[in-house]
Amino acid sequence: MAMANRLSAAVEKLKSNGVRMTPQRHAVLEFLMNSKDHPTADDIYKALENRFPNMSVATVYNNLRLFKEAGLVRELTYGDASSRFDGNTAPHYHVICQKCGRIEDVYRPLLRDIDDEVAKHTGYSVDHHRLEFYGLCPSCRTLN
């Protein structure tokens, strides 16, 4: 789905759930939907602070929580590091640079049978999985 369509669908979903669309909320959502970089809350704040001088980091966090609860963004956690946020909720995997931390989407066939396989072997009720690939991005590889 095109970025503009995803953004308008997200705005409509929020409005239909009674969420008021403030200019700041719209800007945070738009930034996320247009970002391929999986930004942190701080990245989003820094990108938008010039346009919204009265906006706080707390505003960004509150909106991210709201978007996450509405199923519009995914939070990607990596141990102690800051959470990263993905405005693309379609099923996909990620590849992460172990040197610079860059995260990119990977669109390969999904391992759909693995959830059932793990459930069968563990007795768990598995609703999803997360698969990540680690290595060096092209930029970091040329620096080595």
Give the tens place of pLDDT for each residue, 74-122. 999 877 678 999 999 888 999 999 998 899 999 888 888 899 999 999 9
Checking if the pLDDT of 125 tops 90, the result is yes
What's residue 74's pLDDT? 93
Tokens representing 130 are: 């997360």
Report the CATH number of the 93-143 domain. 3.30.1490.190
Cα 57 from Cα 4, distance rounded (Å): 25
Query: Would you say 10 and 33 are in contact if contact means Cβ atoms under 8 Å apart?
Result: yes
Give the tens place of pLDDT for each residue, 6-17. 889 999 999 998
Average pLDDT of the chain to the nearest whole number: 91
What's residue 3's pLDDT? 64
What's residue 95's pLDDT? 94
User: Alpha-carbon Rg of the chain, whole angstroms?
Assistant: 17
* Listed residue (111, 66, 107, 113) closest to 90, CA to CA: 107
Please state the domain extents for the chain. 3-86, 93-143
Cα 53 from Cα 56, distance rounded (Å): 8
CATH 1.10.8.10 is held by the domain 3-86: no
- The 3-state DSSP composition of the chain as helix, strand, coil percent (nearest 5) reads 45, 15, 45
